[in-house]
Amino acid sequence: MTAQEVRLCGLLLQEHFGEVVERIGTHLLRAGAQNLRTIANETNTPLDLVKKSLCVLVQHGACEFGSGRRGPGSPVEYRASCERVLRVLRYPRYIYTAKTLYGDTGELIVEEVLQRGHMTMSNTVKTVADRLTHNMEEGRSMEYSEVVSAFSKLVETHFLQRCPPVAEMGTAATSATPATPGTPAAPASTAPPTAESNPDCYKLPHVTLTGRGKRRRSSDDSEEQRGGKKAKMDSESCGDEGIYWQVNFERFHQHFRDQAIISAVASKLDQTSSEIVRTMLRMSEVTTTQTAAYTQPLSANEIFRSLPPNYSISRPILDQYLSLLVDDPMEFVGKSGDSGGGMYVVNLQRALANLARATLESVVQERFGSRSARIFRLLLRKRHLEQKQVEDFAMIPAKEAKDMLYTLLSENLVQLQEIPKTPDHAPSRTFYLYTVNQLPTARLLLQHCYKTVANLIERRLFETKENKRLLEKSQRIEAILASLQASGAEPEQLTEVEEMITAPERQQLEALRHHINKLDSTENQVDETVFLLESYIFSTKTK
């Protein structure tokens, strides 16, 4: 874990959970596993606030707890997960993917589960149905059965999974309240829960839910009434008490990886080739594990039968496309046998390596220009070259090539390897070869991406803080306008309220929103690069 990762984790925790949780979380990331008293003493935080902060982190899977290092009788120790905190950065992408695949209902289901950490199926269905009903026209409401159907599809495609029991994992509570810090638990496991380790991971409980979503109560209802009604609703038995569901991040990451491969094939070849690869990935998406190097072998007949109806290509044309994909230098598709007209697989590790390589090349081109990118690509292809060979192969003048090589070398994007002819390492009797090591370079770029995202978040928080008064004024006026419109106010009244914001203030507000939107979109774009590099580095570990 690097300083850039800890810094980014701290900013994400502060933005989503507040300063106290950020203080506790970053302390655990730096110090490692610690018990409750040690955390409270070293962070100078009251014990009660430490307990609440740990409950929040455990609820969202960002902290694990287990028996201390001295044995079963020692105090429980807590350990924060940097990888899990960094996934908060990808929440908008998870939600948008659910919306793309399963519509508004799937979007709200994933959003609710992400916001709460984990939820029961019945509570999720009721909350989502109420939210959808509130946005419908008067007199219409959302059936619970429609939300249950969307929830079932998310589970069937493994985008949602059951939370593992505490006894197996030592994290994530299985009761309605978060685990109380200080309670002895089984030793924490660093491995994430998988369907293979928990056979009921994707088994839906029998839930008795009938009815429709309800609209929100009017603003004059008291807090006590709302709290009493909510407690009554939660106390109703639906048949799934104690069964909690969480988002399966690995399944979302697998979907992102597949989409990146499909886009790469479409841009390299054509749309039909990408549709063939999409069909192969879709046929093996549930059976292929996250660490697999290849998808399940598929025969040409199976691929032909599974193609979408609108792609009316003949079997000989499909064979030609498959041969083209197999012979392509990118090696996204490989052949593993000749039975059934030929058995084909998608080479996932090779695809990720090529995507990471293209990312590195584009970064070099954007930062140092097309000529430096030409040298970088040349070194990736030829592995080891002397300076004179680089000049000749890249067809760049000696002085320029030398400057570009030294610039890339100073940025650690290119490495210099010395091969001495004699034991004394005399410069005149030593070969100096330039090379690019893709994996260390990808790790270096990943750290730069973490630093970039942290800078973007800090800039966004600074912009919001600087214009806090104007934003609060705008929110107050929007709330007044909404209440006036709900009560049927006349247009003159609405215009009078709108004029409370002056023209310069409105202009400043528009500029601020445009700037923040640009920062948000840039953050999401950098996260796409982060995902590709993380996937490539992870694939090299499991090779």
3-state secondary structure of 379: helix
Cα–Cα distances (Å) from 499 to 328, 490, 494, 520, in that order, read 63, 15, 9, 29
The CATH classification of domain 84-247, taken from the options 3.40.50.300, 1.10.10.10, 1.10.15.40, 3.30.470.20: 1.10.10.10
Domain ranges of the chain: 3-80, 84-247, 250-346, 351-436, 441-489+499-542
Return d(Cα 298, Cα 318) in angstroms, integer: 13
Return d(Cα 214, Cα 216) in angstroms, integer: 7
Give the distance, in angstroms, between the CA of residue 15 and the centroid of all CA atoms in the same chain.
17
Residue 457, pLDDT score: 92
Return d(Cα 524, Cα 505) in angstroms, integer: 29
Residue 194, pLDDT score: 45
Which residues, listed in sequence order, are joined to residue 161 by a DSSP beta bridge?
246
Return d(Cα 505, Cα 312) in angstroms, integer: 57
The CATH classification of domain 3-80, taken from the options 1.10.10.10, 3.40.50.970, 1.10.10.60, 3.20.20.20: 1.10.10.10
Residue 34, pLDDT score: 84
* pLDDT tens by residue, the chain, 543 residues: 788 889 999 999 998 888 999 999 999 999 888 888 888 888 898 889 989 999 999 988 888 888 777 766 778 888 888 999 999 999 999 999 999 999 889 899 999 999 988 888 888 888 888 888 877 777 677 788 888 888 899 988 889 988 877 654 344 333 333 443 343 333 344 444 444 466 678 788 777 777 676 766 544 444 444 444 444 444 456 667 778 888 989 889 989 988 998 898 888 888 888 888 888 888 887 777 777 788 888 888 888 888 887 777 888 888 888 888 888 888 888 887 766 667 888 888 888 999 999 999 999 999 888 888 898 989 988 888 888 888 888 888 888 888 988 988 888 888 888 888 777 777 777 888 888 898 999 999 999 999 999 999 999 999 888 888 888 888 888 888 878 777 777 777 777 777 787 888 888 888 888 899 999 999 999 999 999 999 999 888 765
119: left (phi over 0), alpha (psi -120 to 50) or beta: beta
Residue 99, pLDDT score: 92
Could you tell me how many residues make up the chain? 543
The CATH classification of domain 351-436, taken from the options 3.40.47.10, 1.10.287.70, 3.30.70.940, 1.10.10.10: 1.10.10.10
Residue 94, pLDDT score: 93
DSSP 203: P
Q: In what order do the strands lie in the sheet with 34-35?
A: 34-35, 77-80, 63-66
Q: Name the class of domain 250-346.
A: mainly alpha
Question: How do the residues of the chain divide into helix, strand and coil, expressed in percent and rounded to 5?
Answer: 60, 10, 30
